[in-house]
Amino acid sequence: MYEKWLASRMNSIEASGIRKIFELGRDMSHPVNLSIGQPHFPVPEPVKQAAKQAIDHDQNGYTVTQGIAPLLQALQQQVHARLPDPNRTVMVTSGTSGGLALALLTTVNAGDEVILFEPYFVAYPNLVTLAGGIPVVINTYEDHFQINIDKVRARITPKTKAILFSCPSNPTGVTLDVSVLKSLAELAREKGLLLISDEIYQSFWYDGAFRSAAEFNPDVLVVDGLGKSYSVTGWRLGYAHGPKPLIEEMTKLQQFTYVCAPAPFQVAAVEALKFDLSAIVADFKRKRDWICDALQDRYEFVKPGGAFYLFPKIPSGTSEEFIQRAISNNLLIIPGNAFGRQATHFRVSFAATDETLERGIEILRKIA
């Protein structure tokens, strides 16, 4: 009986492969967990105190949909310091995923095509489907996870509406070359396409200064957030910035969906934006170098330039056999086919304590 209640779109939306691993981990005894895509460090104390004070001062009700004025002002200042376009406007969203959902629901009509790059963040094709669009997937494995502009151009059709990508990438941690970002931005402008840049990991950019495709095309829509940078993933604090007319339409849709981001955490976010992340980022870079040096003789991978993921190739056997070897050694990692159709790789998160990371490296070397 229940099946007749379900919308047909649910047939095209699959349960997250990451969540399946999380569920598996609940049944394991003290697993070495290198699967979780969230920071391991505690929320900075000034940020926690700001959230507590906001709750104690009864700042717990609805806010204006686009976000409280002090947070919007702080975000606008940061964005305009990098992207001084007077038409670029900011809104606060309920998490980065909320921002992506609003972006796609605002722009994608039934049958529109949205170009994605495999491996991709697990939510991307499902959010495109939710909006009524058709995911068009371009494989980047053979290009060392860089985007090949000629391949993108070849896949553009009259139905193409948007291009969605992340940089730094989840799951690979790869940062795109500046020339690729520039070419992608210019191609989107040439073809009149919306380019959506997911920059949730922009704080974790280890080699040189962070770069954005929005530097090369003022119409690029950027979706970002505070969850990863300040270890507040459960607070659901995201933001988006882009052309004012598009942000206004996303804000209108948010009124009838997410309503607003959580009020006390918006207040705390103003304090978070003042916090110096350099020591935290330096520690993550140290972990990146550590795990890469420790595994380079056993695994093939592209050294990540950002985020906190490593995406090695499975050294032998099938992906299912490899993941089972990891589980039998009490190690949780994410199979590569959670991020697309290819089952040749796996994702490791080095957002972990040094003790956990050391144990994980030992197991990974052993099962190789």
Please provide the DSSP assignment of 86-113 as one string. Answer: TTEEEEEEEHHHHHHHHHHHHHPPTT-E
Whether 365 and 295 have beta carbons less than 8 Å apart is answered as: yes
Q: 321 vs 10, 50, 184, CA distance in Å? A: 30, 47, 38
Q: Which residues contact 40 (CB under 8 A, 6 or more apart)?
A: 231, 351, 352, 353, 356
Which among 364, 368, 362, 360 has a CA at the least distance from the CA of 40? 360
Q: How confident is the model at residue 319 (pLDDT cuts 50, 70, 90)?
A: confident
Q: Which amino acid is at 285?
A: K
- Residue 241 is given by DSSP the state E
In which element (H, E) is residue 161 found?
Answer: strand 160-166
Please report, rounded to a whole number, the percentage of residues in the chain having pLDDT higher than 90. 89
How wide is the angle at C-alpha 156 spanned by C-alphas 309 and 82, nearest 5°?
50
- Tell me the pLDDT tens digit for each residue of 234-290: 999 999 999 999 999 999 999 999 999 999 999 999 999 999 999 999 999 999 999
| Distance of alpha carbon 227 from the chain centroid | 10
Closest CA to 235 of 35, 33, 52: 52
Alpha carbon 133 to its chain's center: 20
Residue 14: predicted pLDDT: 73
* Mean of pLDDT over the chain: 94
Share of the chain above pLDDT 70, in %: 96
Q: Compute the distance between CA of residue 43 and CA of residue 37 in angstroms, rounded to an integer.
A: 15
| Residue 215: strand, helix, or coil | helix
User: Which pTM was predicted?
Assistant: 0.94
Map out the domains of the chain with their CATH numbers. Answer: 2-43+277-367 (3.90.1150.10), 45-272 (3.40.640.10)
- How far apart CA 32 and CA 17 sit, in angstroms, is 18
- What pLDDT shows up at residue 311? 98
C-alpha 245/C-alpha 198 separation (Å) is 19
Coil vs helix vs strand at 150: helix
User: SS3 helix, strand, coil % of the chain, rounded to 5?
Assistant: 45, 15, 40
Whole-number Cα distances in Å, 195 to 104, 144, 163, 184, 340: 11, 22, 5, 8, 21
CA distance 226 to 93: 11
Contact 158, 112 (CB under 8 A): no
pLDDT (tens digit, 9 = 90+) per residue, 172-189? 999 999 999 999 999 999
Q: Which tokens go with 320?
A: 């299912």
How many helices and strands (H and E) does the chain possess? 13, 12
Q: Are 311 and 336 in contact (CB under 8 A)?
A: yes
How do residues 71-103 score in pLDDT, each as one tens digit? 999 999 999 999 999 999 999 999 999 999 999
Element (H, E) at 81: helix 69-82
